[in-house]
Amino acid sequence: MTSEPMLGLHVSIAGSIDLAFDRAKEIGATTFQIFTRNPNQWKFKPIPDESITAFREKRRESGFERVVDHMPYLPNLASPERSTMKISRYSINEEVKRCDALGIDYLVIHLGSHLGKGTAVGVANVAEACNEAIAGSKGDTTILLENMAGQKNSVGARFEELEMILAKVRVDGRVGVCLDTCHMYASGFDLATKDAVEHSMGLFDEIVGMDRLKAVHLNDSKGALGSRLDRHENIGEGKIGRQGIKEFLHYPGITERPVIMETPYKDVAAERKTMKVVRSLLP
């Protein structure tokens, strides 16, 4: 286990999936998030056995306590359209199997849109997709529901919707939550001050429960409070601001989870700068 907070970025798997560990170490990270495949395509190839072996070996060598995968962008798990539902469920089923093979702890999923058919329909579809994926799993990967920024017809911007999905999960402990700070702020949960953080996170704890929070996406927001704009900004340079990010990191329990940045870094130097800025704000 790591002796410091689990702090990292979304890193590339270019060349071979096990190289994610090398890239994380290069920037001083103690955790990371990856895509196991191209996030903008439906088709994908199996992960070679030698890459799985190398990934697991580097995991043991690294001592990283948790590593995170993110679902591709194309699936819409909330969709009421039969054809989209079918291919989206196939996608999450296969992604859970890939995570199981690699020994990845958490799979973060976007919940999608109910396409105007109503929240109840979207919630039921996401929950059933999770149940189906877990039923086909032979490992321990936990699916994490990511809160959304509040775009039209989206599912999961409200804490109540996350709780509704969790209540429909049939296998206890196999589905949790990943909170994205940009999405929280864009959907109307203020995080810019200590009082705001305590109020917003207090609501989360009351409605969902901190015990279900398994990971964090730490992103500043280009959009204003309640703008419903899903646009990430560098830490301390957006509308949440440096003080707000600091107060969020100081909220009890946050730094006990993997904290992953998905900000607009462009190269290794920018990634290292992001890590440095966040470390300067830690408790």
Which helix (DSSP H) or strand (DSSP E) does residue 13 occupy? none
Residues constituting the chain: 283
Amino acid of residue 64 = F
3-state secondary structure (DSSP) of residue 159:
helix
Mean pLDDT per 10-residue interval, the chain, length 283 residues? 81 98 98 98 97 98 97 98 98 98 98 98 98 97 98 97 97 96 98 98 98 98 98 98 98 98 94 97 93
Residues 6+ away with beta carbon under 8 Å from 143:
92, 96, 106, 107, 109, 130, 133, 134, 174, 175, 176
Q: Tell me the domains of the chain and their CATH numbers.
A: 7-281 (3.20.20.150)
* List of residues 6+ apart from 254 with CB closer than 8 A: 216, 248
Q: Are 126 and 87 in contact (CB under 8 A)?
A: no
pLDDT for residue 1: 38
Q: What is the pLDDT of residues 118-133, one digit of tens each?
A: 999 999 999 999 999 9
- The proportion of the chain whose per-residue pLDDT surpasses 90, expressed as a percent, equals 97
Q: Is 109 helix (H, G, I), strand (E, B) or coil?
A: strand
DSSP-based helix, strand, coil % in the chain, nearest 5: 40, 15, 45
For position 283, what pLDDT does the model report?
A: 85
Task: Please check whether residue 52 is in contact with residue 102, taking contact to mean a CB–CB distance below 8 angstroms.
Answer: yes
d(CA 270, CA 155): 33
At 3 the pLDDT is 59
Q: Which residue carries 């679902």 as its tokens?
A: 71
SS3 state of residue 245: helix
